[in-house]
Amino acid sequence: MLQIVEINPKDKKTFKKFVDFPNKLYAGSPHYVPPMFGDEMSLIDAKKNVAYDECDFKYFLCYKDGDVVGRVAAILQHAANDKWGNKNMRFSRFDFVNDIQVVKGLLNAVEEFAKEKGMTLVHGPFGLNDMDREGLLTQGFDRKATLATNYNYDYYADLVQKCGYEQEFVWNEYLVQLGGELPEKVSRVCEIAEKRFGLRLPDEQKLKVMLDKYATGLFDLYDEAYSVLAGTMPLTGKMRRQMLSQFKVAINVNYLPIVVNGKDEVVAFGLAFPDITEPLMKKGGRLTMPIVLDILKRVKKPKSIEFALIGAKPGYDRQGAAALVMKQFAKYMKRDGIMQAESNPELETNVKVQALWSSFDHELIKKRATYSKEVR
C-alpha cells in the first residue's frame, strides 16, 4: 500500500530521510553524485535557506509497506512567476523507484498544492533558482554526473510522461577539448579584444581579493546575460551571499576568469569547478574532516574540471570577451595537464554558447529535459 506523506518542516528526522533517499536509491552507482548533505538539510530552515523570501515549499515522501520509495519537493517560485507572468509550480528533488504508482502519487501531491495556490501549470525538475540542479537526464546514463547536475535512472522520463507530462525545455552537455594550444582563430580574436577594445583579464591570485573586488559586477552580469533564459530570475543580495558561501570551497581562482574593460567593469566571466565528485560520493555528500581535506586538495591542484558558467555582457561578446575567458581556461588546463572538460547543461536555444564551442573539438555526451502539465 502506498502512502504520500507531507513532511513537517520542524521534523528534521523525517526530512533526513528525504535528503538521504537518493543515496539509498543509487547505492553502488558509479554515476550518481550527491549534493552536499548539509546544504540539502538546510532547505527546511528559513534562517539558512534564503529562498524562503521568494518561495513557498512543500516536501513529500512516498512510503510502500513502511519503506521510503520516492520523494519530491514542490516549489512555488514567486520571483520567477512575477518575472515571466506565469502561474507555475515547480517540482524538484524528484527521485523514485521504478513504479508508475509511486510517480503518480508524488506528482499528484505537487498538482494539488498547485491548485491550492491557484497555479495552472506544474513543471520540472526546476530548483530554487537557475543555479540549482534542473532537468531529468534523458541521454548519457553511462556517464558520471558533475558537481552541479543530477543523475537519474533511464526509467524516469518515461514514467513522468505516462503521468501526462510533456517535454518542455531541453539542455545539452558537451565534452570539450581545450588542454592544448588555443585554435588560431580564437587566439586572433583574443588579440583583437586586448589591443583594439582594451579588454583584459585581471591577474589576481587570491580568491578573496578577486571576489571582494568583482563579485558584485559578476553577479550583475550574470543577471543580465542569463536573464533571457527559461526559469531565471534576478538573484537577491541574500541569495548572492548564500551562493558564495556554498560554492566558495569549490572555486579555484585560476578557473574563475573575469574580463574587464578600460573602466575596470566586469564584461565577461567564466567559472569552472575542479572535480570534487569523488569525495562527495564517499559519504553521501556528508563533509567529514578527511573529505573536506580531500576536497581542498583537489580544488588547489585539480586533475579535471567542469565548465559551470560562461557569460558576456551584450555587445562585448562581439568584441572577443568570451574568447578571453577561454584563453584563461586553456592556459591553466595546459598547466595542470587537463585536456578536456565537461560543460554543465546549456539550453538548446542558447546559440551563443554553442557558437563558442564550435571553435573547439567537442562532443555531445548528455541531454536532459524538464516536463510540464497543465492543471485546473
Contact 133/345 with Cβ under 8 angstroms? no
Tell me if residue 186 falls in helix, strand or coil.
helix
Cβ contacts of 20 within 8 Å, gap of 6 or more? 284
Average pLDDT over residues 104-110: 98
The pLDDT of residue 17 is above 90: yes
Average pLDDT over residues 46-60: 90
Average pLDDT over residues 221-248: 82
The pLDDT of residue 176 is above 80: yes
Contact 61/94 with Cβ under 8 angstroms? no
299 & 316 share domain: yes
113 & 239 share domain: no
Tell me if residue 370 falls in helix, strand or coil.
strand
Residue 83 maps to a domain: yes
210 & 359 share domain: yes
- Quote the pLDDT of residue 49: 87
- Quote the pLDDT of residue 354: 81
| CATH value at residue 341 | 3.40.630.30
Average pLDDT over residues 120-139: 94
pTM, entire model: 0.94
Residue 81 maps to a domain: yes
Q: What angle do CA 314, 131, 10 make, to 5 degrees?
A: 150
Average pLDDT over residues 342-350: 91
Number of domains in the chain: 2
The domain in which residue 295 lies consists of 176-365
Residue 371 maps to a domain: no
What is the overall mean pLDDT for the chain?
A: 94
Amino acid at position 104, single letter: K
Question: Using 50, 70 and 90 to split pLDDT, how confident is the model at 228?
Answer: confident
116 & 210 share domain: no
Read off the C-alpha cell for 217.
559586477
Residue 375 maps to a domain: no
User: Tell me: the pLDDT tens digits for 243-259?
Assistant: 888 788 899 999 999 99
- Quote the pLDDT of residue 355: 83
Domain ends where: 157, 172, 187? 172
Residue 376 maps to a domain: no
Residue 8 maps to a domain: yes
Residue 370 maps to a domain: no
CA–CA separation, 240 and 49 (whole Å): 12
318 & 336 share domain: yes
Question: Using 50, 70 and 90 to split pLDDT, how confident is the model at 107?
Answer: very high
Segment (H or E) for 111: helix 100-116
Range of weakest confidence among 17-26, 254-263, 287-296, 341-350: 341-350
